[in-house]
Amino acid sequence: MQGLTIKRETEFVFGRKCLATLTVFRRSNNQDKHTEFTEATRHISTDLPPSSGQATMSLLSLGCFLAVAGQVYMAAVPENQVEVYFVMDQAVVRKYIADSDGDKAAALATIEKDTDYFISEINKLFEKIPNFSIGIMKRGFQILDEDILQGPEVQRDVGLKIFDEWREKQGLYNKFKYDVAVLWTGFQLVRGGNPATAGYANVGKACDSALSSLIAEFDLTYNTVVVTAHEIGHCLGSNHDSDSLRRVMGAEAYAGSENRWSFSTESAAGIQSNIGSLATNCLLETSPESKYVEATLPKDLTDPDHICRRAENNKDSYMIKSQTYYEMQPPHGDLVCRAIFCYNGEPDSSEAAYASDGMICAKNKRCKEGLCIDAPDAESEAVADNECVFKDQAHVDIAGFTGTCGKLISKFGKRVCYYYKSMCCETCNAYASDDPDCKFGDKSGKCAGKEQWSVCGGSAATCCELCKGYQGKRSAPGNGTQAVQPDQPPASNMAKQEKVIPLDD
């Protein structure tokens, strides 16, 4: 492991910043713990600046070590620290107020929690850039008193130019000396009338006080993390990846991508080259007002139905829980950690939305970078059944029927659970029997009204409830030869759409 780089802003580096990043590196092997501890203290001792006469701090404080439950944690301060100033327009605030049923105070409280979570997640993406030490810090955050853009649609280049002019007029850089400025907007960014764009940035202009800026759509979901990180990557000097693997700097974004949590070596090299060519690398100078943000997942972003309402900007949206959307499995595990599918308000249609890192995905498990990993806590432990992690689908749209799961079963019978249990798992579980071969009774409506002798000789598996305890008789007319086929599942009216969005050009 490389030694820590200690800046001369001693009080800041060994105070708030280190404490905010104490869990960056973790060693579980006892021997490694001792080695890391020894090496780090040696580097800290040699890297410290000459005494300034100020009160000194303990060596362990300087090294940012923390012993918790027998584990030693060590934080490495990134060599390059990007101080980002975030600005949010009123168009975003209006979305939050609508999401909070008109309660502005509640909306503002939610904004604070959500933005800190998003910023912390953006930093996690940059921490993993290969072969380059970099972190994203929060230099500041403000909400505009009034919109500087005019919606509902904004030409992306025009919007960024307006933001740059506003920054200059406000003297924003002179006040905060940030490395990159971000405008989060609730308006739809367009390119020549085409809405298929989500952000725009001045490429390679970090540390340029006039042009170190970007604009990104803010949709109140994890998509905001992906888009903002992508545009910051442009500011730092990365172009789009040349491959189609849809990593952070891919030209297209798709919620279901398995690679959206990583930068390619190609984009890392672009950032490193651009920063290395700067006459003055502003990322090496850090304000004591900047901080790394550590935040937990806000409650609203743990609920897939709420995520869908936000993603689609539609109070009537909800998570589609049909197994046909999740590789013929009930929605849980790794698949829901990449994307969830939402009713988008259009007839017979749905779209993929970004799942939140930290969302519960199974009993004692939560999502982390597309995987459903062990994370036991009281909330995840409360999941009773991995086939019913998210309870019933809010509304069901099948064969002309629209309504709740309870009403669906009232109309079609409990046998509908044989093929739609993933959508109505909670309601179906209430009807389930202990017989694995006849869990929801007869598998065909044609079994009703039949005599056992007429069907059970050849269709006992289909009419399993009717035929329980049946013993055939040689004298039975026709000897029960009438065949009854299981009902075909009612056709779903919902079509799966995997929406791919060009991020910025």
- Residues at the binding site for Zn(2+) are 230, 234, 240
CA quadruple 458, 462, 467, 471: dihedral positive or negative? positive
Active site residue 39: no
Distance CA 201, CA 85 (A): 14
- The structure tokens listed for 184 are 């989060």
Q: Which residue has the tokens 């259009």?
A: 346
* Strand extents, DSSP E, 399-445: 401-403
Distance CA 124, CA 295 (A): 11
For residue 437, how many other CB atoms are within 10 A of its CB? 8
Contact in structure between 356 and 222 (CB atoms under 8 Å):
yes
Distances (CA, A) of 379 to 128, 366, 371: 29, 10, 18
Contact in structure between 251 and 260 (CB atoms under 8 Å):
no
How many CA atoms does the CB half-sphere of 113 hold within 13 Å? 14
Three-state DSSP class for residue 334: helix
From 231, 346, 451, 498, active-site residue? 231
**Nearest CA to 226 among 23, 91, 369?**
369
Residues annotated as catalytic are 231
